[in-house]
């Protein structure tokens, strides 16, 4: 589901090619198209813990809340029933659009919440660097990375109100980048490039106004720009935090704990995983570790097929389609080679993080099928075939 927003950029020395009307000119288009399914994939990774998501992310979280208009517009008077609820919902979508924009147009693949890093001594597995607060007030939302040596800060905002680069709100958001810095045991401080991504989402009660995404490119405070040595140290932490979040959703709490704490697990401790394949031509050589979410109207059906001694098929992905009245089943997983590379970190040390490589992803995927470079996938279960359980 493609939705159109207005677009404004500021302080981008190099406008991403996909955001240019003319590839030969370093000037942005005045609009941007966003795949709502991919945005909701980022929303799921960013917001949900181990609880099953509701509504179903494979069918675009919140898609019923948006109008059929090709421009991004929510129904009636906006998200949420009252002020506090609206603030929460717009913030969630602001973060999702921020992650989507940085992923899609700035090459950023890995995200760690600032709360997981700020003010904490990084454990020995990641060197002697520390991210500290320089003054009171809000800080950027994310530490994120294109790779372990290319790091960024990011601040996400979502609102129904009018915003502009000249507004007092944007000035306050810029100030957030002055409240954190990277330091080491020698008391050197390092500045780092960042992004502010603010999304205004309008409702159908504002027919003459358009939703708009504004992005700016500031720097944090620091004596010197961050070097590759320092970047690699913190970059490994960002990548491991990113995958710890995914592994928690996949119900591997021990692996997630090891990633968050640079703990080394004994090699003889096997991890049992469900293995799936996808028959889409350019994905048929890949395997995925994962499972599925059952809709609320089908728990009894699921138990019957799992427990019945008369199961005619071993492929559990065939069962949901037998009850045509049931809701959709959703697959969530991680590409197997990436899973193995992440698993290797827990068996060796933080240096093994450098062996994690992003997945090459093509755009020609079915509607409702979302696959990211980090290897995470959300899609209707019908696109996957269960192969069995193995130990890694």
pLDDT reported for residue 208:
87
pLDDT reported for residue 58:
67
What are 181-214's pLDDT values in tens digits? 888 777 888 888 889 999 999 988 888 899 999 9
Output 293 or 320, whichever has higher pLDDT: 293
Q: Reduce the DSSP state of residue 81 to 3 states and report it.
A: coil
Q: What is the mean pLDDT of the chain?
A: 85
Read off the pLDDT of each residue in 79-95 and give the average, rounded to a whole number: 84
The whole-angstrom distance between residue 227's C-alpha and the CA centroid of its chain comes to: 26
Q: Place 321 in a pLDDT band, splitting at 50, 70 and 90.
A: low
Q: Place 305 in a pLDDT band, splitting at 50, 70 and 90.
A: very low
Read off the pLDDT of each residue in 150-172 and give the average, rounded to a whole number: 92
Instruction: Name, of 98-107, 129-138, 167-176, 260-269, the range with top average pLDDT.
Output: 98-107
pLDDT reported for residue 252:
95
> What does R_g of the chain's alpha carbons equal in angstroms?
22
What are 363-377's pLDDT values in tens digits? 888 888 999 999 999
Least confident of 34-38, 52-56, 93-97, 381-385: 52-56
Least confident of 47-51, 125-129, 139-143, 179-183: 125-129
* Positive or negative torsion for Cα 356, 112, 58, 302: positive
Distance CA(321)–CA(326), nearest Å, equals 8
pLDDT reported for residue 300:
46
Residue 124 has pLDDT above 60, yes or no: no
Nearest one of 197, 196, 167, 209 to 74, comparing CA atoms: 209
Q: Place 309 in a pLDDT band, splitting at 50, 70 and 90.
A: very low
Token pair for residue 161?
A: 């109100």
Residue 57 has pLDDT above 70, yes or no: yes
Q: Residue 22 CB: number of other CB atoms within 10 A? A: 8
In eight-state DSSP terms, residue 228 is: H
What are 206-250's pLDDT values in tens digits? 888 999 999 998 877 777 788 777 788 888 889 999 999 999 999
pLDDT reported for residue 332:
94
Residues 6+ apart with CB under 8 A from 158: 90, 91, 92, 93, 94, 95, 97, 198, 199, 201
């Amino acid at each position: 589901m493609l939705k159109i927003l207005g677009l404004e950029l500021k302080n981008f020395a190099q406008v991403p090619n996909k955001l240019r009307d003319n590839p030969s000119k370093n000037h942005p288009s005045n609009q941007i198209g966003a795949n709502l399914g991919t945005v909701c994939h980022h929303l799921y990774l960013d917001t949900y813990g181990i609880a099953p998501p509701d509504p179903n992310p494979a069918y675009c979280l919140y898609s019923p809340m948006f109008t059929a208009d090709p421009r991004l517009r929510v129904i009636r008077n906006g998200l949420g029933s009252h002020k506090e609820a609206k603030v929460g919902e717009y913030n969630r979508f602001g973060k999702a659009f921020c992650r989507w924009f940085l992923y899609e147009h700035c090459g950023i693949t890995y995200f760690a919440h600032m709360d997981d890093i700020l003010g904490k001594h990084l454990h020995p597995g990641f060197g002697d660097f520390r991210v500290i607060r320089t003054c009171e007030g809000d800080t950027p939302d994310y530490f994120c990375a294109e790779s372990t040596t290319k790091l960024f800060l990011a601040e996400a905002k979502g609102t129904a109100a009018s915003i502009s680069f000249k507004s007092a709100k944007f000035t306050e958001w810029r100030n957030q980048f002055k409240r954190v810095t990277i330091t080491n045991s020698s008391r050197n401080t390092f500045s780092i490039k960042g992004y502010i991504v603010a999304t205004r989402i309008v409702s159908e009660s504002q027919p003459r106004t358009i939703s708009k995404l504004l992005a700016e490119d500031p720097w944090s405070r620091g004596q010197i720009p961050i070097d590759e040595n320092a970047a690699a140290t913190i970059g490994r932490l960002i990548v491991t935090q990113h995958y710890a979040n995914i592994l928690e959703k996949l119900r591997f709490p021990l692996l997630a704990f090891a990633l968050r704490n640079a703990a080394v697990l004994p090699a003889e401790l096997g991890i049992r995983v469900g293995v799936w394949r996808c028959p889409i031509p350019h994905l048929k050589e890949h395997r995925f570790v994962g499972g599925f979410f059952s809709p609320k109207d089908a728990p009894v059906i699921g138990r019957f097929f799992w427990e019945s001694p008369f199961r005619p098929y071993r492929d559990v992905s065939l069962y949901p389609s037998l009850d045509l009245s049931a809701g959709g089943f959703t697959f969530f997983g991680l590409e197997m080679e990436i899973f193995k590379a992440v698993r290797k970190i827990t068996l060796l040390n933080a240096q093994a993080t450098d062996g994690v490589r992003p997945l090459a992803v093509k755009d020609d995927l079915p509607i409702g099928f979302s696959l990211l470079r980090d290897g995470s996938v959300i899609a209707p279960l019908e696109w996957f075939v269960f192969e069995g359980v193995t130990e890694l």
